[in-house]
Structure 1
């Protein structure tokens, strides 16, 4: 899009009661200080946006004379089509005009928004405007027209191991997600690795307790000999134990049988000695001989029954006593003492042998701990490598993007990123000329910097607008911007003059 200013009509705008300016491809506004040169540029931006050329609020009301209404008409040519815009201010009320027709503010602003972005137009119109914006806005305007390097382009520019690793990983996750995953992994693995190191150290220290073990072979030989001796003694004590145990069993059974026999005999004697009642216990009459005989018969039957129960017990006791008479108690106290002493020798040897098993198990624990520590470290290093690779990616991406931007400029240096103390790359924006930041540039240097920057914006946005250069007398030589050029130059003692070419 090509935008040109054909003419400007001012009525009661600041110091200008009536002024008409016709613009050419180059228009020079000449005059001494306070002749209203800069006001011409301000009237253009006020008409469009109600601001001065730097985007600040502007009160166009004259202060050196009285007026009822301030009025500006601006005739633009947009891609060979004329557009007449106007703005007036009367008693604090603003009226807008499109092609001389009064229009609502919303319609007026919509026309402007359809044509161009406010910040972009003001940056192209006034070379100083861009530098009044916040650095994020400045950065966004520059990068709006510069595509970021593709991932493949950045991967290729990285060291091969980093580039290949990331290229493979991004098939499944984005770089942002990969960074979140592996930063989380790193935090977790840092703790796990410290714990794994601590466990390995503790187990190794415990393993040191087994470094002076008696050789297992000699322990087994000694233990075998002692067990052999103990077993031989146990054969004797086991055999004696069977005999002595049988004697104890027999004595116990005999004692039990004797008690049962004695009780049976007592019962038998008591029944045999029982007297038959002579009289009936119910009526008191003397029993008949027949009844007495029946009673005697019952007593004899009970005595016989008890005897039949006791006699087998007597026979069993006799048999047990006969068996007991064939056995002789064996005294094995001496052998048991020898066995006890042998066991006292065996116990520490078995303990030493057990230590060999413990050593083997402990050695396995140490090997497992070392393997876990190694595996954890490898996983930790893998996450660190990926995090560092992503950091390198962003740095290289920033470098490539910065180069794309830098290639647009001849004399300006553009800083798009800033490296943090931790190595992270953060967005930034700073313009330098000859190693100096914009704020440190002289007036002429700042104008030249602004002209170069606005031309880059113009070329990238494919938008050509008029360029208004105030204080043009401060620069004697500069590359003329594309589009119309409007300059303001101080000429001592000269009244306002507009020269269009």
Structure 2
């Protein structure tokens, strides 16, 4: 078993303690003093050293030591250092909480910029994560809380307490539980439950599935009576259906006889009517032929008229084409004349420019050569000779440029004259084409009088077509063969038939109730059968639920027996009996049969030690137990763990014994 032993603890400016060192004895150390003397501070220091929390599992608590005025003591390192012996190997642990004072540029005094925590193991600095990891290797934090504080387990939520206890009870074999509950249920039924468990399915989830299925089945079952009532209420009134069927048969026979009489009267009428229809059909055929011969005559007349007027249409079309060509030629003529005017304007401007250039002469500034430096007449022969040579060169350059410019003007003028000649030729050609087209138009128009006038053709009627008159003669002969057909008065028979059919329909509605009642009776029987099936399914599910409850109860009783067998003075109530016979989960600590909450302080502390002993044995580790209010207990039960008693005494200061 791993043995964690606290050998010493040093506090420097931790909470209200400025400096204190405690050396702990091998098995039991008493720390005595009045209230507020720092007993609990030692426990807080120990838990803060290991996990950064106080003994109440709080991270945010005031670590700093205050002055009498209540102000923080600045620039102080708040330190807890302790030596732990784990299976004989010592670990020197130190945690330091310090202010981070920084001198910023331009400031004379240091400024508090926050806090930092430093960690050391055997005087070697560690990062926070490294420190936490190594402490976790020595002892798990959650386990440490359970085995160092006698009241910690009792203050947990009951569900967490159950979880911890069941983790110590060990696995209970399904076959073992099957044997145990075989007197309640036969093994065949329980065997189905075991198959569910062996499949890896969670029993609680299976139980919820059963509950949900049963709920749905009950909802469906509850609807059955309502649906049966609806079917019963939908039934029509009972009637003498046999007598109704006989009456319908009698009335139907009478309708059949009326139909025979109407059919007989109708046959004579139909014979005459059919004869007339045959004659009318021949007449209609002849009238169709009349329409056709008139149509053919009009078609032939329109064809001849079209052929006779085709020459005039061709002539008019040629006139329109020629007139269109004339319009195009005249537009082209106007464009060419406009271009000619522009070219004439360019030639006139070029002639004026030629005259200006041709009349231009080289001119030289008169006077003597003047010195640009002294502003006097230059008498240097060499300078005057150079001056004269420059003037001659300028004159030659002027005359050469003049000749070149006049040649360019002449060349441009020749091009403009050629352009004007082209315009004149184009105008002459277009005028000739216009004259040719107008001559053609005049000739075509003179030919129009030789063609017949374009007047609408007269529409022919039957009177204008001899074949139509011949067909009308045949129609008149057929019209004389049509005879008057008068139907017999069968209104009374028809009225009687309608009345009989109305009466039959009313009786059939009554008779339909027979089939409706039969269908509804079948529906009611079907609903009742469904209800029986649903009730059987619910009963089967309730059997499964009972088997699950029996299995769970057996498992709880076995676990409860195993768990309670581990403790010397406490036991645990793990389920409550409900009024409906069911059971609900719970976890209540009992001290010799008395609920933990009703026991005195001494019993509660010893109960906590009993729990610690079992947990330490199960996990194979012991750690220092801090027992607060130790003065309330005259004797504590034996424990292999190190005990640190915190006692309230009348001593004026803290005493370590």
- Secondary structure in structure 1 of the residue aligned to 2:50: helix
Match of 1:410 in 2: 568
The CA deviation at 1:457 is 1.1
Q: Following superposition of structure 1 onto structure 2, how do residues 164-313 of structure 1 map, counting pairs within 5 Å? A: 164=191, 166-167=193-194, 171=199, 174-175=202-203, 178=206, 185=213, 189=217, 192-207=220-235, 209-210=236-237, 212-214=238-240, 216=242, 238=260, 244-249=265-270, 252=273
The CA deviation at 1:458 is 0.7
The CA deviation at 1:448 is 1.0
Match of 1:33 in 2: 34
The CA deviation at 1:447 is 1.1
Match of 1:122 in 2: 145
The CA deviation at 1:371 is 3.0
Q: Is the 8 A contact 1:243 1:330 kept in 2?
A: no
1:468 aligns with 2:626: yes
Q: Is the 8 A contact 1:51 1:58 kept in 2?
A: no
- Secondary structure in structure 1 of the residue aligned to 2:7: strand
Alignment CA distance shift 1:72-1:168 (3 Å): closer
Match of 2:522 in 1: 364
The CA deviation at 1:142 is 3.8
Q: Is the 8 A contact 1:32 1:494 kept in 2?
A: yes
Alignment CA distance shift 1:68-1:486 (3 Å): same
The CA deviation at 1:117 is 1.3
Q: Is the 8 A contact 1:27 1:487 kept in 2?
A: yes
Take 1:343 and 1:43, find their aligned partners in 2: how far apart are those partners? 108
Take 2:602 and 2:263, find their aligned partners in 1: how far apart are those partners? 124
Take 1:257 and 1:101, find their aligned partners in 2: how far apart are those partners? 130
Match of 2:120 in 1: 97
The CA deviation at 1:454 is 0.8
Task: Report the TM-score when normalising by structure 2.
Answer: 0.51
Alignment CA distance shift 1:478-1:224 (3 Å): same
Match of 1:484 in 2: 642
The CA deviation at 1:76 is 3.0
1:82 aligns with 2:90: yes
Take 1:37 and 1:62, find their aligned partners in 2: how far apart are those partners? 18
Q: Is the 8 A contact 1:52 1:58 kept in 2?
A: no
- Secondary structure in structure 1 of the residue aligned to 2:622: coil
The CA deviation at 1:164 is 4.8
Match of 2:617 in 1: 459
Q: Is the 8 A contact 2:11 2:45 kept in 1?
A: no
Q: Report the count of equivalent residues.
A: 439
Q: Is the 8 A contact 1:3 1:464 kept in 2?
A: yes
Take 1:106 and 1:335, find their aligned partners in 2: how far apart are those partners? 112
Consecutive unaligned residues in structure 2, runs of 5 or more: 100-114, 282-468
CA deviation profile, 1:235-293 (whole Å, cap 9, x unmatched): xx83x666644543455578789999xxxxxxxxxxxxxxxxxxxxxxxxxxxxxxxxx
Take 1:185 and 1:22, find their aligned partners in 2: how far apart are those partners? 63
Residue from 434, 446, 449 that aligns with 2:604? 446
Q: Following superposition of structure 1 onto structure 2, how do residues 7-156 of structure 1 map, counting pairs within 5 Å? A: 7-8=7-8, 10=10, 19=21, 21-24=23-26, 26-29=27-30, 33=34, 43-56=45-58, 57=61, 59=63, 61=65, 73-87=81-95, 95-133=118-156, 137-147=160-170, 149=172
Match of 1:292 in 2: none
Take 2:496 and 2:511, find their aligned partners in 1: how far apart are those partners? 23
The CA deviation at 1:107 is 3.1
The CA deviation at 1:128 is 2.9
Alignment CA distance shift 1:474-1:366 (3 Å): closer
Q: Is the 8 A contact 1:186 1:380 kept in 2?
A: yes
Consecutive unaligned residues in structure 1, runs of 5 or more: 261-301, 321-328
Computed over aligned residues only, the root mean square deviation of the Cα atoms, in angstroms, reads 5.5
Q: Is the 8 A contact 1:5 1:23 kept in 2?
A: no
Task: Report the TM-score when normalising by structure 1.
Answer: 0.64
